[in-house]
Structure 1
Amino acid sequence: MTEPTATHGTHRAWAVEVTDFAAGPVLLRGALDLERTESGWLPRRLPRWTRAQYPEPGVEDMVVQPSGVRLAFSTAADAIELDVLTTQAVWPGDPVPTRADGFDLVIDSVVRRAGASEVTGALELRDGTGAIAERRPGRVGTVRFDDLGDQPKEIELWLPHHTRVELVALRARAPIRPAAAAGRSQLRWVHHGSSISHCHAALRPTETWPALAARRAGVEVVNLGFGGQAQLDPFTARAIRQLPADLISLKLGINIVNADSFRLRAFIPAVHGFLDTVREGHPKAPLLVVSPIICPPVEDRPGPTIADPGRAQPWFVSSSDPSQTALGRLSLGVIRGTLARIVAERSSQDPNLHYLDGRLLFGPGDVADLPDNLHPNAAGYRRMGERFADLVFGPQGAFGGHPTRQDSAA
């Protein structure tokens, strides 16, 4: 932490500047690691040791997109600035962005403002397969928030949920102190899921459904939702095992069907193994298994799901034969029945293990908000967050009735 003697883009000097995000006083919530890069500090949503085990580059892409990651600190500053280098993926048909948006400021637990960097960082132009066709370098941009008042306040600055962000510097017009202990005493909810938990289509980082549910329930969320990568990977289970966690949820199944990556013979022991690993670190924490939300093309037939080549806009379909579920291929119906049975069998010895049918969060009556036949839109995600808060954190829910920490094992 340094105290600059010159002004930075304003007629008034900044009181403090933080450039070492690993040393504090800024707390990084929602990230499991922080990597030093040439430009700054890169939040990662899985520990770096997991990288050697990634089966494809897509895992790394999702791990460094900071869904749920935010900077937390206390200050009386009336203005703050954050310098960042962003890297945005641009898919065929998407407009090339002119700036990096999606930075949300939360003051004393209330979402107050959305911000954007005044310049675009680096760009990765993708082809139809998702591979990088062209890289365009970018430069550091600044996100600024003014007129915050000079009263002491608790700040959370949420990073974009869909954009790689390297942290370069944080400046404020008053001293920055560590976040209040009250915030850290909240129950910590660790959630793992697919793109439907990563929530690319949410309008703001504070409007992903896990963020919405956490705010309504008054808990601190760690969102391990990785687009395409909820594949029962052992390294993810081990990362969760090592985390401090009071409440844990696992939303499983849709990526496995989408990729046609398991057969029933392998799926059943893989689920047991994932649960066993999580339980090694968190033997008594409430643990909720959530099955997939509605996805019409694979409700009764196996994957893989593919984008319909006859449509200009993404629309996911499957051409697999429904009768092949009898041979061990997986539809969502098979997945739900299998997960419900596994949880029922294990819960006789594990009373804190619970099951939730994902269609209660987003079901047949919600398909109008499923614009690509697979992923909810922003309205759908908001509804999922509200329903999860009511169903799971409510008095009769899996996470209801847990006012104190149940399990804080590292």
Structure 2
Amino acid sequence: MEETKKLGNNHRKKILAAIIFSIIAVIGLIVVYFYVQYKNTHITTDDAFVDGHIHTVAAKVSGTVKAVYVDDNQFIKAGDLLVEIDPVDYDVKVNEAASGLSAENAKLSEMDARIESAKKQLAERRAAAEAARADLELQEANLRQAELDIRRAETLYKKDVVSKERYEKTTTQYNVTLAEVKAAQEQLKQAEKAAETQQAMVKQAAAARTSQLSLIQEKEAVLRAARLNYGYTKISAPSDGYITKKSVEGGNQIQAGQPLMAVVPLNDLWITANYKETELERVRPGQRVEIKVDTYPGEKLKGSVDSIMSGSGAVFSLFPPENATGNYVKVVQRVPVKIVLNKDADRQHILRVGMSVEPTVIVEAKDSQQGRNRKTDAERKD
């Protein structure tokens, strides 16, 4: 009786164990099934971090820092005054450049007055030359008439038609007219020469004015540069953001190009996730992404795939691999993927540039199936 009872208990234990094992196996299969389904539709990496724009604020001119108006981690708006350099030296240069420009402009005004006077004198010289030319034409006409008169008088004198006195008077008149023509010719020559000389003076003055204009342009450029450098003594924020890496204090002597601080805007952050190249066949721009932040375990942000970098991280490193030399060991490459956050996903600005995150790309079933099909086709070809 006891043996029968003992056998019954053992049988029940075996049945119970079998049931428990079956339940565990079913649960395991269910877990494996859902795990496989999850892996087929979710691509996760922990090689990811928060990225964003970092604006380096640097001095454009050298000098002594007069004042610093911000501190580390302070929020500022675009255009806010950050640093001021002592402007005294640059103000002096502006005044010197302005004085130099004024002096050259005054010289230009004097040149314009001289050119105007020279043009008036040129007009007078040309008028005198025209008058001399008209007088010469008149005297030449008189000479032609005198030549006719003397020929007629000579003919009549030989025929004793006119007296000797009349003939001599006509000859004298011809000689006088001839002398007047020569005098008019000389006067015209001198008048034309005076006009040419005055014309040359006008051209010379115009050339000097052109040179003066070039000099004025140089002085204007110097003044613009001086004013620009004076403006550079006030350094303003390039964008909204937070101050970081501030390395300047009042009284410091700084040089042009020296970095003073950085401005990090937190309203335009994204995620740079380095996925394995074997996982990228299923990643597409526009796919949904869930993002876990290591700093805030309870936070889960939403985003989407923006783009895939056109090369692996190794290619763009400072020392890219040289696989043509030495022993080659194949290593799975990682390719950066840019993930953008949904609008208002980080409304409280809890993210900081450089934070570690764990993004999960949610792959559609059809994309997953297409990826597997491409992989199978590639294996068949091999």
**Greater strand share, structure number:** 1
Determine which structure has greater relative contact order: mean sequence separation of CA pairs < 8 Å that are 6+ residues apart, divided by chain length: 2
Larger Rg: 2
TM-score by length of 2: 0.19
- Normalized against structure 1, the TM-score is what? 0.18
